[in-house]
Structure 1
Amino acid sequence: MFLPARAKADEDEGWLIGFVIDEPSDTTDLVILDAHAFQGAPVATIRLPHHIPPGFHGNWIDGGDAQ
């Protein structure tokens, strides 16, 4: 998923976010990449202590308008 750096960002100004599944350890990493340099090292990696199914998806919304 692409997350833009701001509302009117260029198509590579932001981050790519995705899951990387490690089947042998039954864990999943949430990996965040800089869209300008996605071949480089991740900006962040968050280890989730369980397996996230490959078809899992969700929605991202701006929390500023939440009631």
Structure 2
Amino acid sequence: APGEPVFVPRNASSAEDDGWILAVWYDAALNRSEMVVLDADNFAGAPVARIKLQHRVPWGFHGNWVSAQ
């Protein structure tokens, strides 16, 4: 299964939907993945950013968000 999306709050006091969702998409036709950044308040909207990779991110890849503070 693909990795789980990660929620990144806008700041420490953000509401539950005030931030971004980071997720990895896989394109089987190209055998490549991309990281997408979605607005958590508009999950169905177009991605805020797309980071297209030149390789496939393996199934089961996951991560977490750690604040610099």
Give the TM interval when normalised to the shorter protein. 0.7 to 0.9
Superposed CA RMSD = 1.1
Give the superposition deviation at 1:52. 0.3
Alpha-carbon separation, structure 1, partners of 2:52 and 2:18: 25
Structure 1, unmatched stretches of 5+, are none
Q: Aligned residue pairs: how many?
A: 64
Larger radius of gyration: 1
Q: Could you tell me which residue of structure 1 aligns to residue 49 of structure 2?
A: 44
Structure 2, unmatched stretches of 5+, are 1-5
Identity of counterpart residues, as a percentage?
Answer: 44
Give the superposition deviation at 1:62. 2.6
**Larger RCO (CA under 8 A, 6+ residues apart):** 2
Query: 1:47-62, aligned counterparts within 5 Å?
Result: 47-62=52-67
Alpha-carbon separation, structure 1, partners of 2:15 and 2:61: 27
Alpha-carbon separation, structure 1, partners of 2:50 and 2:62: 18
Q: Which runs of 4+ in 1 moved over 6 A?
A: none
The TM-score with structure 2 as length reference comes to: 0.84
Greater helix fraction, Structure 1 or Structure 2 = 1
